[in-house]
């Protein structure tokens, strides 16, 4: 996913240079710059306007957070089903948060899985905004005990200095990493959850083919010990 805001050039350079040293392309650069280290549903930061150029403070009520938790009920029987729940919960978060920040609008900057200039429109999001926000949402979900088969990982990146892309990531317990790339779909739509190795190496991803393949994939159920 292309992030074209001029002001992020140096940060993108730092992030992509880290890719050469880490085969998983994991990075904490944007989290250290833009994310709350310990977000809670009652108090967290939302990025928007491209490269977190704008930030808004958001507070969800206990009732709103219960709606997020309800997405994970009943508990998923396996990791694949839980990834679908995570995507649905991220979409719900986008809608609730967007109602407070003004970002619950059509992302007209999307075209052919690329992000075009936002023309200084603070309601529009690029892949950095989406990656940081999704990390924030999933971190709060994990801390609330909603996940049984996954943990939140660092952000990941791919592409080049001219066409960088960024994504939030979850790791299946003792297993593979998965990109949750909300920048590939419009606001409030469950984002695709793609094996990270595919997200890094195959671009643009064939979302229909990945979706068709997912139901037929056999996965042994792995459970996380109660905490």
* Predicted confidence (pLDDT) per residue in 27-59, tens digit: 889 999 999 999 999 999 999 999 999 999 999
pLDDT at 20 > cutoff 80: no
Phi/psi at 155 (5° precision): -65, 160
The pLDDT mean for the chain works out to 84
Q: Which residue has the higher pLDDT, 225 or 209?
A: 209
Find the helix packing angle between 79-101 and 127-143, rounded to 10°.
120
3-class secondary-structure state, position 105: coil
Q: Supply the pLDDT for residue 216.
A: 44
pLDDT surpassing 80 at residue 17: no
pTM above 0.75, yes or no: yes
57 phi-psi bin (left φ>0, alpha ψ -120 to 50, beta other): beta
Of residues 143 and 212, which shows the higher confidence score? 143
Q: Residue 8's pLDDT is what?
A: 41
User: How confident is the model over 96-139, as pLDDT tens digits?
Assistant: 999 999 999 998 887 777 888 899 999 999 999 999 999 999 99
| Mean pLDDT within 66-79 | 97
% of the chain residues with pLDDT over 70: 83
Query: Rounded CA gap, 121 and 101, in Å?
Result: 13
**Domain locations along the chain:** 6-216
């Amino acid at each position: 996913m292309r992030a074209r805001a001029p002001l992020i050039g140096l940060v993108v350079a730092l992030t992509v240079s880290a890719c050469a040293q880490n085969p998983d392309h994991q990075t904490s650069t944007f989290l250290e710059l833009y994310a709350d280290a310990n977000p809670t549903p009652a108090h967290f930061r939302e990025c928007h306007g491209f490269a977190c150029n704008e930030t808004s403070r958001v507070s969800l009520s206990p009732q709103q957070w219960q709606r997020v938790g309800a997405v994970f009920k009943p508990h998923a029987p396996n990791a694949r089903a839980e990834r679908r729940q995570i995507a649905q919960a991220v979409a719900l978060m986008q809608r609730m948060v967007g109602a407070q920040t003004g970002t619950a609008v059509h992302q007209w900057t999307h075209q052919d899985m690329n992000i075009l200039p936002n023309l200084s429109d603070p309601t529009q999001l690029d892949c950095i905004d989406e990656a940081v926000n999704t990390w924030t949402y999933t971190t709060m979900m994990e801390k609330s005990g909603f996940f049984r088969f996954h943990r939140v990982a660092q952000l990941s990146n791919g592409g080049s200095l001219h066409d960088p892309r960024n994504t939030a990531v979850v790791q299946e317990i003792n297993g593979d990493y998965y990109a949750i790339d909300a920048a590939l779909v419009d606001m409030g739509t469950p984002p695709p959850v793609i094996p990270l190795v595919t997200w890094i190496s195959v671009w643009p991803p064939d979302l229909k083919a990945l979706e068709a393949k997912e139901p037929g994939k056999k996965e042994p159920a792995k459970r996380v010990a109660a905490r």
